[in-house]
Amino acid sequence: MIKNMSSLEKIDINKIPLHVAIIMDGNGRWAKEQGKERIFGHQNGIQAIRDAIEAASSIGVRYLSLYAFSTENWNRNKKEVDSLIYLFANTVRNELKEFMNNNIRLITIGNIEGMPSYCQKEFKIVIEKTKNNTGLTLIIALNYSSRWEIEETIKKIAFEIKENKIEINEINEHVISSYLTTANIPDPDILIRTGKENRLSNFLLWQISYTELFFLSTMWPDFSKENFWQIISDFQKRERRYGVVT
């Protein structure tokens, strides 16, 4: 009998995507299925984050973006929001040693200045301490939405025009990209969404024009390294045409 190959063994190490983005959905519904409050799902989702980071690092993915907290999430129950923000701050502080041991650089995108000061403080400490690490860049989207990002980009470009630093006819997609929060970061090759929902939820809408999309029925707390590697393997079988007919 031939032993079944794991998804990791199926991956072509010469065709690793540069950037994988994940919408981590399903924590609350997973908790409800366990008869628990929603925060229980978020707490159990931390291990899935660790698994995604380890899975990405193990095969040489350079950028991993995680949609942690959207601008729309402020509309949730205050108890859940407060607990979630505390969880973010506590987790990033506790993971610093692992980031340093594994050469991981942390950055954030989004309006982090709109987060509570104690949360800002913890993230800024870890960002500063990991800034010279050269392995995986972990991008946490915190208080982020794509519409907010595009609005801010328009304002920045308008100001540059007003200051005579840029001409209107110089504006193109490359210029616009350079003013986004993801400037100098390659667009995602893959976008994964867990939790049974098939929508983008205002995440990286400019950046995912030619991104390969993967929607999973798996709830985020159940997401594993094997799930990650299977998606990479499936991605490598797709033909990316970028609008060109072959």
Q: Is the predicted pLDDT of residue 177 greater than 80, yes or no?
A: yes
Is residue 38 classed as helix, strand or coil in its secondary structure? Answer: helix
> What is the set of active-site residues?
25, 73
Q: Is the predicted pLDDT of residue 3 greater than 60, yes or no?
A: no
Average pLDDT over residues 140-152: 98
Predicted confidence (pLDDT) per residue in 209-227, tens digit: 999 999 999 999 999 999 9
Q: Is the predicted pLDDT of residue 116 greater than 80, yes or no?
A: yes
Q: Is the predicted pLDDT of residue 1 greater than 50, yes or no?
A: no
| Domain 16-145+187-235, second-level architecture | 3-Layer(aba) Sandwich (3.40)
Predicted confidence (pLDDT) per residue in 185-204, tens digit: 999 999 999 999 999 999 99
Return the pLDDT at 242.
66
Q: In sequence order, what are the residues at sequence separation of 6 or more whose Cβ sits closer than 8 angstroms to the Cβ of residue 141?
A: 65, 66, 67, 68, 69, 70, 108, 109, 110, 203, 204
Q: How far apart are CA 42 and CA 28, in angstroms?
A: 7
Burial of residue 10 (CB within 10 Å: 0-12, 13-18, 19+) is middle
Return the pLDDT at 2.
42
Would you list the domain boundaries of the chain? 16-145+187-235
Predicted confidence (pLDDT) per residue in 123-141, tens digit: 999 999 999 999 999 999 9
Whole-Å CA distances, 167 to 25, 101, 176, 180, 183: 41, 46, 13, 18, 20
